[in-house]
Amino acid sequence: MSVLRVHHLNGATLCPRVPARLLGQQGSARLVCHCLVLETARDGLIVVDTGFGTADVEEPGRLPGGFRALTGARLRREETLLAQLESLGHRAADVRHVVVTHLDLDHAGGLGDFPRAAVHLHERELQVATAQATVRDRLRYRAVQWAHGPDWHTYAETGDTWRGLPAIRKLRGVDAEVALLPMHGHSRGHSAVLVGHAGQWLVHAGDAYFHRGAVSEPPVVPLGLRLFEAQVRDDKRAWRASVTALRELRAAHRDLAMFCAHDPAEFEAMAQPAN
């Protein structure tokens, strides 16, 4: 088995100033940025999504003020993946690959902490993020987060499938079972990331949905997250098709553990015990 160990780490905390019940929560409203660090036999460390990075913490102005105010982004050095990896005894140079669901600012912030890693993603996501064609794109995609010039590796659907869905099963230079499952809609080149480990598939759905109720049967999503989702998604029809595909996958297969980026209950269920 080429993925030896999976760490579920929270790469950023968001505390939106809204009543918790609007997010289906109690107490104070809180969202996480669920990231993975994979210890592998042959590929060093592989990171899936990166939360905010050290430079975001040191220079909050890299993130738009409106975003910080709306989401209540907590910028803490100890929550960066780099700091958490170091506390696990690893170094930045141990990270040889980063796979990103998409390049929104709360997923790409840590890219600069792993400047020597190959960065794998859907080709359409990189095209749109780097084109910076609209004000909206310039707010969600922060070019400063990849100003160091990552070693990008991009992919498109070429006929390969996983469980009947278009997939990119083989990432360049990666021996471990890590794949992209295109789930466009939230952003134009958004993908879920699949990780084969211990006879099971982890399905990191990124921002394809925001609350676990979206992939339950019947789907039930708290009002605040439905409104937020409608604000930030790029293509409603593609987004709906993605959520439906994920819900059907989850219902049809017992060997999947599915989670999205921002649901704290899903994160806490996966994060303990470490496996």
The torsion angles phi and psi of 234, rounded to 5 degrees, stand at -95, -35
Rounded CA gap, 33 and 99, in Å? 14
Could you list the residues that contact Zn ion (CB under 5 A)? 106, 207
Residue 32: CB minimum distance to Zn ion, A: 10
Can you tell me whether residue 90 is helix, strand or coil? coil
Q: Taking a C-beta distance cutoff of 8 angstroms, is the pair 41, 107 a contact?
A: no
The amino acid that residue 85 corresponds to is: L
Rounded CA gap, 195 and 50, in Å? 16
Task: Report the residue number, 24 or 206, with the smaller CB distance to Zn ion.
Answer: 206
What number of other Cβ atoms are within 10 A of residue 163's Cβ? 15
Longest dimension (CA), the chain: 47
The tokens for 92 are: 């930045």
The torsion angles phi and psi of 46, rounded to 5 degrees, stand at -115, 130
Residue 104: CB minimum distance to Zn ion, A: 5
Residue 33: CB minimum distance to Zn ion, A: 7
Q: Taking a C-beta distance cutoff of 8 angstroms, is the pair 128, 186 a contact?
A: no
Task: Report the residue number, 153 or 190, with the smaller CB distance to Zn ion.
Answer: 190
Q: Taking a C-beta distance cutoff of 8 angstroms, is the pair 40, 16 a contact?
A: no
Residue 271: CB minimum distance to Zn ion, A: 18
What number of other Cβ atoms are within 10 A of residue 222's Cβ? 17
Task: Report the residue number, 106 or 113, with the smaller CB distance to Zn ion.
Answer: 106
Task: Report the residue number, 126 or 174, with the smaller CB distance to Zn ion.
Answer: 126
Which residue is associated with the tokens 């790469």? 11
Rounded CA gap, 153 and 266, in Å? 29
Rounded CA gap, 259 and 264, in Å? 10
Residue 160: CB minimum distance to Zn ion, A: 26
Task: Report the residue number, 79 or 177, with the smaller CB distance to Zn ion.
Answer: 79
Task: Report the residue number, 95 or 225, with the smaller CB distance to Zn ion.
Answer: 225
Residue 275: CB minimum distance to Zn ion, A: 24
Residue 12: CB minimum distance to Zn ion, A: 9
Task: Report the residue number, 113 or 263, with the smaller CB distance to Zn ion.
Answer: 263
Task: Report the residue number, 207 or 263, with the smaller CB distance to Zn ion.
Answer: 207
Q: Which of 98, 229, 221, 87 is nearest to 153 (CA)?
A: 98
Residue 50: CB minimum distance to Zn ion, A: 11
